[in-house]
Structure 1
């Protein structure tokens, strides 16, 4: 059965192009131009993924995505689609619960590849609470614990840890980590190292066994005592 996708976009030219392309690629596609109407469709139909614009009539994309995350125990995968390209907007999108973020103008093949990647991840990690060894992360409440002790993270640290936990036990590349924080325009490599250092201080600092491991020349992964 084909994956069913909802496209929420108020630019009719973009909407028509995306719908036509994705249908050619074999998806079952519904389309709507209004945020409130999209919410009603999502409540009525079992979609596999939503491509969601931010600037919408009725209800903006940030609000709709956040509401979905608060309402649904098994969050529906969301790719934010927007003309906003500031780092703060990307972070707000991820904070609202978006799985990925694509800035306009974009190439349709790139959107297709992003959709495939998010669907693949969601099929493996369709759960509210992520658990890796003694580390747990609640995607709805945004609370993190290690050995029942709370771990305080800033916004970027949460984004990085969630990505590492969703991909565990695989290695997450530097490229994917950079994209999660800054989209297609990351700063120099020192910026990622700085945020990883802060994440390690929070997750590993109070404990004897480190869980965040650097894989030289590749990226980072999580390890447990059982490994």
Structure 2
């Protein structure tokens, strides 16, 4: 079973490796939410173990991001010291499948991981996003315009998801940067570069542009018949 552990405590990660790997598990570990999302964009996993108290992007934000923008349906177990009912409700509402409170038994963790693996992908609905000629399928990470597949980078796909969900309303530069990079924002030219790449794929091959820039404010999508 291949498991992604998103946990910033090296001792907990080491204990998981020592206990689970002899049982046949393959573990990858990420110490930040952003790094964990990077793993999930590139590799398939059977189960995800996610700590809530992460530096920068916290676990609930990671959970929401992977369930919405990335469309990841992999079973997910939240691992945390927070044990109140509201904390657990928040975790499940964000898209978690199970909850294990620290300190925990590694034998119990093993049992829960096996149960989640047998359950298979989360049944959380993966709603296809549509606006005008656009159609985005979070379950496959595919985007199409007028039926034509758009070859998008992961970041451009995320940007388009945010814009489609808001369409036809404006999305500010600050909102886009927060949705893509959270608190770990890159230099000021990064968003402009990705928007340029998105426009090249989304609009250039077609007769009418859908992505509009509102100078000094942000961006919005318009239906093809409004362009």
TM class, shorter-length? 0.5 to 0.7
Q: Which stretches in structure 2 are left out of the alignment for 5+ residues?
A: 127-137, 139-227
The aligned counterpart of 1:128 is 125
The aligned counterpart of 1:14 is 12
The aligned counterpart of 2:42 is 44
Contact 1:73–1:127 at 8 Å: present in 2 too?
no
Contact 2:17–2:27 at 8 Å: present in 1 too?
yes
- 1:134-191 CA-partner distances (Å, limit 9, x unpaired): xxxxxx9xxxxxxxxxxxxxxxxxxxxxxxxxxxxxxxxxxxxxxxxxxxxxxxxxxx
Provide the C-alpha distance between the structure 2 equivalents of 1:39 and 1:20, rounded to a whole number of angstroms: 24
Provide the C-alpha distance between the structure 2 equivalents of 1:24 and 1:128, rounded to a whole number of angstroms: 35
How much has 1:21 moved relative to structure 2? 1.2
Determine helix, strand or coil for the equivalent of 2:100: strand
How much has 1:128 moved relative to structure 2? 2.8
How much has 1:44 moved relative to structure 2? 1.0
Provide the C-alpha distance between the structure 1 equivalents of 2:125 and 2:71, rounded to a whole number of angstroms: 6
- Equivalences for residues 176-191 of structure 1 within 5 A: none
- 1:25-55 CA-partner distances (Å, limit 9, x unpaired): 1011111211111111111111111100000
Query: 4+ residue stretches of structure 1 with deviation over 4 A?
Result: none
Structure with larger Rg: 2
Contact 2:50–2:76 at 8 Å: present in 1 too?
yes
The 1:49–1:93 alpha-carbon spacing in structure 2 relative to 1, beyond 3 Å, is same
Determine helix, strand or coil for the equivalent of 2:68: helix
- Equivalences for residues 108-147 of structure 1 within 5 A: 108-122=106-120, 128=125
How much has 1:127 moved relative to structure 2? 6.5
1:23 matched to 2:21? The reply is yes
Instruction: With the length of structure 2 as denominator, give the TM-score of the two structures.
Output: 0.53
Q: Which stretches in structure 1 are left out of the alignment for 5+ residues?
A: 130-139, 141-227
CA RMSD of aligned residues (A): 2.0
- 1:169-227 CA-partner distances (Å, limit 9, x unpaired): xxxxxxxxxxxxxxxxxxxxxxxxxxxxxxxxxxxxxxxxxxxxxxxxxxxxxxxxxxx
Provide the C-alpha distance between the structure 2 equivalents of 1:127 and 1:100, rounded to a whole number of angstroms: 13
The aligned counterpart of 2:146 is none
How much has 1:72 moved relative to structure 2? 4.1
- 1:48-72 CA-partner distances (Å, limit 9, x unpaired): 1110000001311100011111134
- Equivalences for residues 64-213 of structure 1 within 5 A: 64-73=62-71, 75-122=73-120, 128=125
Q: Report the count of equivalent residues.
A: 128
